[in-house]
A = this chain, B = another copy of it.
Amino acid sequence: MASKYDRIADDLRRKIRNGELSPGARLSAETTLMEQYKVSLPTMRSALAVLRAEGLIESRHGHGTYVRELRQPVWRTNERYQWEKNRVRADQNERRKTGATEHDTGLTVDDLEFAASYDDSETADESLAKAFGVPIGTRLLRRTYQTRSRRENSPLSIAESYLLYDMVKTNPDLLDEENEPWPGGTQHQLSTIGIELDRIVDEITARPPRGQEAETLDVPTGVSLIMLRKISIDTQDRVVEVSDIIMPGDRYELRYTTPLERWS
């Protein structure tokens, strides 16, 4: 331990933490830093690589190296699920006004760009088969959603939602991506085929982005991904939807409220 680049990284990390280098500030050029710290360029660069991996700095080619700014977090709460359920029974005008993402972020429909695409040729792999409790190979409807803020380039999140094809085909409207965005969202879509949700189970984990993901989500190295699998279970205890949602960890915070039964 205590290699040269480690000590340099420690020094810069300290300067960032105590505000000597504030968010948005530009660091000196690599060649300048290399002279300041009296090391070679590759060594200086590996010191910066450490901080980049920690998400503390960001380098822009031909531009400079900057202290990362904290992005305002978007909240995703589990209260949205009950809110969505209540909205299913509201009239269509009310449903059209806002979606669940707006509920979370406080942004209006106009701020958000929404893209959906459907694919009805998907079949269940091992993981999905287990989640749904069906055999591997069962036909699914896969729906891909991208939400992005109009003010920024990077998507807020990417979601893949899976429905059992045989279950939803009874309402052909549900198979057509042209009907997106569907006022009232998935819970309302399911209600058109007589499904009422009993509970939603969220499974959460986190890992670094891999290869292509970093590009499609446009996250720099140094940002973790929050992986959320959302499993919707109806009043007959059937798994009716499985959704895999990917969120950049520097943009999102999840909030779950767990009520407890009273003693008295």
In the complex, how many angstroms separate the beta carbon of A260 from the nearest chain B beta carbon?
Answer: 5
Copies of this protein in the assembly total 2
A221 contact from B53, B225, B226, Cβ within 8 A: B53
**Contacts A207-B249, A211-B9, A249-B205 hold; do A256 and B258 have CB atoms under 8 A apart?**
yes
In the complex, how many angstroms separate the beta carbon of A146 from the nearest chain B beta carbon?
Answer: 20
> Which residues on the B side are within 8 Å of A55 (C-beta)?
207-208
Q: How far is the CA of A67 from the CA of B122 in the complex (A)?
A: 30
In the complex, how many angstroms separate the beta carbon of A95 from the nearest chain B beta carbon?
Answer: 16
Q: How far is the CA of A245 from the CA of B49 in the complex (A)?
A: 27
> Which residues on the B side are within 8 Å of A249 (C-beta)?
205-207, 224
Task: Indicate if the CB atoms of B256 and A205 lie closer than 8 Å.
Answer: no
Task: Indicate if the CB atoms of A262 and B199 lie closer than 8 Å.
Answer: no
> Which residues on the B side are within 8 Å of A198 (C-beta)?
259-260, 262
A169 at the interface (CB under 8 A from B): no
A196 contact from B197, B205, B262, Cβ within 8 A: B262
Q: Mark A202-213 against chain B: 1 for CB-CB distance below 8 A, else 0.
A: 111111111100
A257 at the interface (CB under 8 A from B): yes
A10 at the interface (CB under 8 A from B): yes
Interface centre among A199, A210, A260 (most CB of B within 10 A): A260
CB pairs A–B below 8 angstroms (28 shown)? A9-B211, A13-B210, A13-B211, A42-B42, A54-B208, A56-B210, A73-B205, A82-B258, A82-B260, A82-B261, A196-B262, A197-B260, A200-B258, A202-B258, A203-B255, A204-B204, A204-B256, A205-B253, A205-B254, A206-B225, A206-B226, A207-B224, A207-B249, A208-B222, A208-B223, A224-B249, A235-B262, A256-B256
Per CB-CB distance, the 7 closest pairs between chain A and chain B, nearest first, are A206-B206, A224-B224, A206-B249, A206-B224, A204-B254, A78-B258, A256-B256
